[in-house]
Amino acid sequence: MTADLTIAITAGVLVACGVYLILERSLTRILLGVIIASNGVNLLFLVASGEPGRPPLSNLWGADAIADPLPQAMVLTAIVITMAVTAFVLALAYRSFQLGGHDEVADDVEDARIRALAEADEQSDSYEDSTFSDTGEDSVSE
Amino acid sequence: MDTKGTLVLFALIATHAIVACLTPAISRFLGTRTFFLLALPPAATAAFLLSQSGRILSGGTWVERTPWIESLGIELSLDMGLVQWVLALVVSVIGVLVLLYCRWYFDDRMPNLSSGVLLAFAGAMLGLVTADDLVVMFVFWELTTIFSYLLIGHDPTRRANRGAASTAMIVTTAGGLTMLLGIIAIGHEAGTFSLSAILAGPPTSTLAGAGALMMLVGALTKSALIPFHFWLPGAMAAPTPISAYLHAAAMVKAGVYLVAVLAPAFSSVPHWRPAVLILGASTMVVGGWRALRQTDLKLLLAYGTVSQLGFMVLLVGMGTKAGALAGLGMVIAHALFKSTLFMIVGIIDHSAGTRDLRKLNGVVFRAPVLAALGGLAALSMAGMPPLIGFITKEAAFEAMVFLITGDQYGVTPLAGMLLAAALVFGSAITVAYSLRWWWGAFAPKDGAPVLDWHAPALGMTAIPAGLGVASLVGGFLGHPLTELLRPYSETLPLGKESHGFALWHGFTAPLAMSAIALISGIALFVFRSDIARIQATFPEQTSMEEMFHRSMKLLDRLAVETTGRVQRGSLPVYLGTILVTFTILSLSALMDVRFWPRVMWFSSLAEVAVCALIVAAALAATKSRGRVRGVLLTGATGYGLAILFMMWGAPDLALTQLLVETVSLLVFVLVIRKLPRYFTNRPLSSSRWWRVLLAMAVGTTVTLIALIAAGARKHTPVSDAWYVATYEFGFGHNVVNVALVDTRAWDTFGEITVLVIAATGVASLIFLQTRAGELTSTDDALRAQNRERQSDSSPAVWLRAGQTMSPIARSLMFEVVTRVLFWLLILISVFLLLAGHNAPGGGFAGGLVAGLALVLRYMSAGRHELDDAVPFDAGRLLGSGLLLAIGTAIAPVFFGGKIFQSYDVHLNLPGPDTVALFGREFAFLGDLHLVTSTLFDIGVYIVVLGTVLDLVRSLGSGIDVHQLHDVAPTPIHDSTKALPARGRRR
């Protein structure tokens, strides 16, 4: 099978542009990055399906003439899922804007707290020093 | 004996589980009397077991088998021989008694969770002691661990309960997992997981030996032997009846049981015997020694249990005939007296409000019968004749004497002497703490406060009374007990036959040992204050428990350090890590590629032109500072993609891409109209070049992977067979569409589920408390604005909602175009849906077109128009679409087909087959070919339509309402900032 260089490079550029945007802070930009990268990945399926062919309609064209239908079925699924993801992340961005006046992804506060614990050489909050001794003083039995 | 096909025991176990689940419902009506009902499953079990006594005692077995995981050779199988039968009987009888006792112990506060779990535990325990398949046994084993965890932690608000529960859980689960490794090793070597088959022909390889030792570790943790003993005293945090059952009579015996069944086959495995003998003896001594200084009656018993468990494991584990007989006898005796003792402690606690032996004063005068019973059980524990504890301990000492006199070559005489001395010493301590227990519970003491005592319920006393008397009667039943257990002891390969259980064997060495133990035990008790002084002078040791807690603390610190180091909390850092890993791993794999892929530059010039446009749009999108520009440029890459799909021979893809891109663009516009116009300025320039570098690396990797993967491909595509299959099995000509609704319908089904979830997620993020916003029709809106009903208000008239909007926001042009396009779009959507099976189209494309038609109405006349168009919640569309899809998936099963199988029907409609119009022939009536998978496609259509509707309702109407109520910030014109909302934010 022969690979189409133009399509492969275009896919690479789309993924690169997507990655650049995904590494941003603004949710809208991250989302644009996800969409562009998804488009790039969908293009990869074109590379995988080989050279262009006729539409896979068995009443119109012969088995040798048509393009490979399997990647098409997969991409079709991917396209629709991307739409669902787009809408969901947009709603997230809007909610973030509604609450904070911007749509930026801030650093996780909880993680910063754990880092502080690690630097102070302390245990986590979920840790309990729950010793029970057999002296009967702090007995556990009921 | 073949009992194939009957699943009585499985049914009994299931009954335990079912009744356990129903407990909360039943207890609402019966209160604590529910316990009478809960005692029924174990009672039925006991009755069944007794009915099988003839079969078992004549050497038969009760076998139940049913296939489970055949590919792994695991089957649900039970095989009840003698040992299993005895233990199952102990478990069920004590279970009945404990559950009955609970009825009074818990007064009026019915513990729903604990009582249900207790019954479920009884079922799991029954499964554990009768399971034949080791994997099945492991499942029951871990179930008992979990139930024990729940019962110990019955009051999660108390720190002690939490700590004790998790300690018990961690220790026994660690042992359980080790055991699982052992099971796998033995199963691998033996070629079967069936316990009976393994015991019949035990594998002798080193791996199997290691497996046996690993199983031994599991048994030692469960039975709380040194060095894992510390979890058992903590487990006393559970209510007393539960401690009596789990942590004295049943669960901790699981380890003894396991050792007992493995010993005939594996006791000669290297390291087995030293481990069992040394750990057993030291557990007996250490447990007893600690029991001597307890002031809490229940803790005293707990350490006593640890001590006795050590004794029992030692006896059954040493692998001689006499030891096995004595050990199994001990199991029965211990179950009898220890549960009696626990129940009496429960009664004292209940009646006096304390278990502290320093506060209990003169209980013997208040409850003489109870004191007598307690004395009986305590003396049985001490091994005093004529009680059952005595005759079993005699047999145990005899086994030790055999050991010293060379019963088997594994133990040297000196080691045997030492061991015997340890056991006699352990027994002496047992005598001492038995006396201490009775003295502490019942005796009058100087200086202790006067007791506040109320008499216990009759039933509450009757149960330990029965058990206590059984200890006494058992002492005189030595001969039948011997006959009962002898067949098991004979399965052991080594050692002399025991003289059995009896009160009198003549003046023998065991009798002398018993006497020494009794006398020195009494001395230990009498001189207890001196002993306590001596105990106090012992140097402080780091206990195993402390080491356990230290290691838990260390683990927690390690987790904090690792988390602190790894979890930076920054999204770009995480994504960057993933992408760098992706690049490095992929490139290093590509390094190994030894050929040049066959590559062509391009297949047509048009393709190059489109690609150039896509690349330009993508690059510009990364640089754009304004939201709208970025979105439009991103959209351009998508439209470019649609053109490429078209050129590649993928009209379905092109169509869907075009529609999806349009819907996405509209959804984008709906949201970003309310966001600031520009992205915020952030000082990101420092990291920009790094990001560019990473982006280029990832992009290059992707290109290389694409070229090499495509160039390396030499096999024929799997989809070659689809060409023919599509029509033969799917009855359609459009291969892609048939793939979606038939060949790979599961994928599509998963996908529409994702759509439903995403749409619900979006709606939830906007409406927060409800699934959908309030629907308000145009009429409602006009009424709310105090305006007259319009003259055009007949139901057939549509697009009236424009009147509710500000004239500035209206566009006459747009409204006219909407009137022209709406029904046309709906018509096209239905056409795409129905034609999709044989021509480009299908449910996705159709649903999207119909959705776009709705978006059009919303855009031209606002949210009230949308509510007029679809006067119900989008969730109904989503749900009914999904239901239809599920229905068409399952329906074929009822007609003898498979899930998602398609059928076709040919209808011949009367009338002309074709009509001539404009000089061409068009198909009209005649043969109509219907395929059932179209119904599935209709489900897809409805879900997609519902999704788009939900998106417009949320991101369009919902955000409109937010603006109306001023609950979202208002962007400042030409800025990156926004003014805070003044309305009350929900």
The verdict on A7 touching B (C-beta cutoff 8 Å) is: yes
The verdict on A72 touching B (C-beta cutoff 8 Å) is: yes
Position A138 confidence tier, pLDDT thresholds 50, 70, 90: very low
The verdict on A120 touching B (C-beta cutoff 8 Å) is: no
The whole-angstrom separation of Cα B751 and Cα B763 is 18
Q: How high is the mean pLDDT of chain B?
A: 89
Is-contact B343 B517, C-beta < 8 A?
no
Say whether pLDDT at A134 is over 60.
no
Q: Is A69 within 8 Å of B736 when comparing Cβ atoms?
A: yes
Q: Is B649 within 8 Å of A66 when comparing Cβ atoms?
A: yes
Q: Find the length of chain B.
A: 986
Sign of CA dihedral B421, B422, B427, B433: positive
In this complex, the residue of A69, A115, A141 whose CB is nearest that of residue B298 is: A141
What pLDDT was estimated at residue B407?
A: 64
Q: In degrees to the nearest 10, what's the CA dihedral of B209, B213, B215, B218?
A: -170
Q: Is A19 within 8 Å of B962 when comparing Cβ atoms?
A: no
Q: Choose between A107 and B886: higher pLDDT.
A: B886
Low-confidence winner among B148-152, B789-793, B826-830 (lowest mean pLDDT): B789-793
Helix (H, G, I), strand (E, B) or coil at B75: strand
Say whether pLDDT at A124 is over 90.
no
Position B129 confidence tier, pLDDT thresholds 50, 70, 90: very high
The percentage of residues in chain B with a pLDDT greater than 70, rounded to a whole number, is 97
The residues near B11 (Cβ < 8 Å, ≥ 6 apart) are none
Mean pLDDT on B844-856: 96
Say whether pLDDT at B680 is over 80.
no
Position B792 confidence tier, pLDDT thresholds 50, 70, 90: low
What pLDDT was estimated at residue B986?
A: 47
- How far is residue B536 from each of residues B229, B529, B530, B539, measured CA to CA in Å? 22, 11, 10, 8
Q: Is B699 within 8 Å of A13 when comparing Cβ atoms?
A: yes
The verdict on B753 touching A (C-beta cutoff 8 Å) is: no
Q: Is the peptide bond before B386 cis (omega within 30 degrees of 0)?
A: yes
What pLDDT was estimated at residue B790?
A: 64
> What are the helix (H) ranges across B153-296?
159-190, 195-200, 206-222, 231-234, 240-244, 253-266, 272-291
Q: Which CATH class, in words, describes the domain spanning A5-54+67-119?
A: mainly alpha
What pLDDT was estimated at residue B667?
A: 94
Q: Identity (one letter) of the amino acid at B288?
A: G
Q: Choose between B614 and B403: higher pLDDT.
A: B614
Closest CA to B766 of A113, A19, A93, A62: A93
The whole-angstrom separation of Cα B604 and Cα B774 is 53
CA R_g for chain B: 40
Mean pLDDT on B957-985: 83
The percentage of residues in chain B with a pLDDT greater than 90, rounded to a whole number, is 54
- How far is residue B200 from each of residues B69, B188, B197, B965, B970, measured CA to CA in Å? 23, 16, 5, 79, 81
Q: Is the peptide bond before B892 cis (omega within 30 degrees of 0)?
A: no
Distance of CA B292 to the CA centre of its chain: 41
Q: Is A3 within 8 Å of B599 when comparing Cβ atoms?
A: yes
User: What tens digit of pLDDT does each residue of B918-950 get?
Assistant: 878 777 777 778 888 999 999 999 999 999 999
Kindly state the tokens that stand for B690: 């790094």
What pLDDT was estimated at residue B746?
A: 92
Low-confidence winner among B41-55, B139-153, B291-305, B679-693 (lowest mean pLDDT): B679-693
Mean pLDDT on B795-805: 81
Say whether pLDDT at B3 is over 60.
no
Position B684 confidence tier, pLDDT thresholds 50, 70, 90: low
The whole-angstrom separation of Cα B127 and Cα B281 is 30
The whole-angstrom separation of Cα A19 and Cα A30 is 9
**Helix (H) or strand (E) segment spanning residue B427:** helix B413-442
Closest CA to B83 of B314, B309, B316, B280: B316
User: What tens digit of pLDDT does each residue of B220-272 get?
Assistant: 999 999 889 889 988 888 889 999 998 888 889 999 999 999 999 998 888 99
Q: Identity (one letter) of the amino acid at B198?
A: I
Is-contact B627 B679, C-beta < 8 A?
yes
Low-confidence winner among A4-8, B313-317, B593-597 (lowest mean pLDDT): B593-597
Say whether pLDDT at B402 is over 60.
yes
Kindly state the tokens that stand for A29: 């930009």
Task: Compute φ and ψ for A103, nearest 5 degrees.
Answer: -120, 35
Mean pLDDT on B124-152: 94
Kindly state the tokens that stand for B579: 């992408």
Kindly state the tokens that stand for A48: 């995988």
Say whether pLDDT at B983 is over 90.
no
Low-confidence winner among A13-17, A125-129, B742-746 (lowest mean pLDDT): A125-129
In this complex, the residue of B722, B734, B748 whose CB is nearest that of residue A57 is: B734
Widest pairwise Cα distance in chain B: 124
Min Cα–Cα distance to chain B from A83, Å? 6
The verdict on A136 touching B (C-beta cutoff 8 Å) is: yes
Say whether pLDDT at B344 is over 80.
yes
Q: Find the length of chain A.
A: 142
Domain ranges within chain A, ordered by starting residue: 5-54+67-119
The verdict on B619 touching A (C-beta cutoff 8 Å) is: yes
